[in-house]
Amino acid sequence: MKKTEKITKPVYQQIAIDIASRIANGEFPEGSRISGRSTLAGQYNVSPETIRRSVSLLEDMKIVSVTHGSGILVESMDLSMNFINQFKQVDSISGIKQAINEILEQREELDKKLKESLDRVLDYTVRFKTSNPFAPLEVEIPEQSHLVGKAIGEINFWQNTGATIIAIKRKDELILSPGPYMIFEDKDTFVMVGDEDSYDRVRHYIYDFVDLTQNR
């Protein structure tokens, strides 16, 4: 299974969020001045350039203002809270996206395993067909068949043929255990199990009806 990559914010962005949090919780009140960039760089153990980018981001959001020689002035606690909430929403969406990707990867892996298992069953039954009275069979639905457009539950398939549908092949898709509401389409292929006479009964049930309707 492919490992989902973890989404990590840039360091300067993480620092900007932290400073905004400190403003929002009152550590840096509105109108107060925050330590200079060099001091902040030491506190966060990063370069002054990283602090410059963090402060520029906060300045763009009108949370602080920077005046040469006067340092960093706190402008708005409310905008700090809006800034934090904005990133919380992004984190939430990213988390949901990551969870969906993981579920899709798990489903893809499960579908692959199911297909491999079915292939093994079909291979086994082909090789040992003579010793097994219930071997999987495949029959393609022809055009103009009376089955096209009908659901499995409508046609009483087992009552008419003695066979049980276990899968349907549709183009490049293999649909396992189709339910009673599955609608048949042209060129669908049944995968079914039944006794030795089931194949003839199924072909008779599907093809004879087509021949009769075409000869009218």
pLDDT digits (tens, 9 = 90+) for 25-71: 888 899 898 878 888 888 889 998 998 999 998 999 899 998 877 78
pLDDT tens-digit readout, 109-165: 888 888 887 777 776 666 555 545 555 778 888 877 788 888 888 888 888 888 888
Q: In whole angstroms, how far apart are CA 63 and each of 48, 68, 73, 107?
A: 19, 17, 9, 45
Q: Is the pTM of this model over 0.85?
A: no
Which pair of tokens denotes residue 148?
């096209």
Q: Does residue 186 sit within a domain? A: yes
Residue 195 lies in a domain: yes
Domain stop point among 107, 125, 153: 107
Domain count, the chain: 2
CA dist 161 and 144 (Å) reads 19
Q: In this structure, are residues 194 and 129 in contact, taking their beta carbons and an 8 Å threshold?
A: no
Q: Using alpha carbons, select from 203, 174, 199 the residue that is nearest to residue 188.
A: 174
Distant-in-sequence, close-in-space partners of 207: CB < 8 Å, separation ≥ 6: 142, 145
Query: Residue 208: exposed, middle, or buried by beta-carbon count in 10 A (0-12, 13-18, 19+)?
Result: exposed
Domain check: are 1 and 96 in the same one?
Answer: yes
* Strands laid side by side in the 71-74 sheet: 33-34, 71-74, 64-67
CATH number at residue 174: 3.30.70.1450
Q: Which domain does 206 fall in, by range?
A: 133-214
